[in-house]
Amino acid sequence: MKEQITALALGLALALGVVPPGAGPARAEGEPAGVFDYYVLALSWSPTWCALEGDARGSPQCAPERDAGWILHGLWPQFEEGWPAYCPTTERPPSRAMTGDMARIMGTSGLAWHQWKKHGTCSGLSAAEYYAKAEAAFDSLTRPGVFARLEQPVRLPASLVEEAFLKENPGLAPDMLTVTCRSGRIQEARLCLTRDLAPRDCGADVVRDCRLDDALMAPIP
């Protein structure tokens, strides 16, 4: 009976266009490689990840000498609704040298490996091609320098972070970029791109912005 009530509530929410948190569109794992509609370029604010996870893990990404601000979280193949993951591929996995090199912009080689396994396999590209495309996408987006100059934690509307990115990248429109939050903190900036890495509007399940007016943004250590 409980399962029936839950299913009924979810069905009603979907019919009304109100999707409960965590019930957004997703895809089963193992879909064909190379079958997707567009990419999402995800940039993570490293101080947030370090405060919530990385410091406890002793991640080298969080060491003060790394001076990590916006890092490349990943380049994610995306459907207009939902996304593929862990796709079967005949491509060889990346070498340690490849993942080690990507740590320059991804924080750690472990993240580079995980992103290939979960998302890169769905791109239809070789590991080398996928990493090259991810780096090209990362380099195509100008990161606002103002956040790198923070000296103290600040609370600010998440919309200001999006506005800063739009100001530094005048070719972008608001629906091409979204800013996410986690645990009351600025988490990521996500840019939607065509398969050729041209900016495009995000799908409905990606475009939702963080609405916090007092999101915490910690400075780079």
pLDDT of residue 24: 44
Identify whether 5 is part of a domain. no
pLDDT of residue 221: 86
Identify whether 135 is part of a domain. yes
Identify whether 155 is part of a domain. yes
54-113 tens-digit pLDDT: 999 999 999 988 889 999 999 999 999 999 999 999 999 999 999 999 999 999 999 999
**Tokens for 67?**
């001076």
Q: Which residues of the chain have pLDDT under 70?
A: 1-28
Identify whether 30 is part of a domain. yes
pLDDT of residue 91: 96
Identify whether 106 is part of a domain. yes
114, 115, 163: which is closest to 138 by C-alpha? 115
Residue 206: give its domain's CATH number.
3.90.730.10
Residue 62 CB coordination number (10 Å): 21
Identify whether 162 is part of a domain. yes
Tokens 């934690």 sit on residue: 153
pLDDT of residue 15: 35
Record the pTM: 0.85
**Mean pLDDT over all residues of the chain?**
89
Q: Name the residue range of residue 52's domain.
A: 26-217
**Overall number of domains in the chain:** 1
Identify whether 199 is part of a domain. yes
**Tokens for 58?**
């002793």
Identify whether 65 is part of a domain. yes
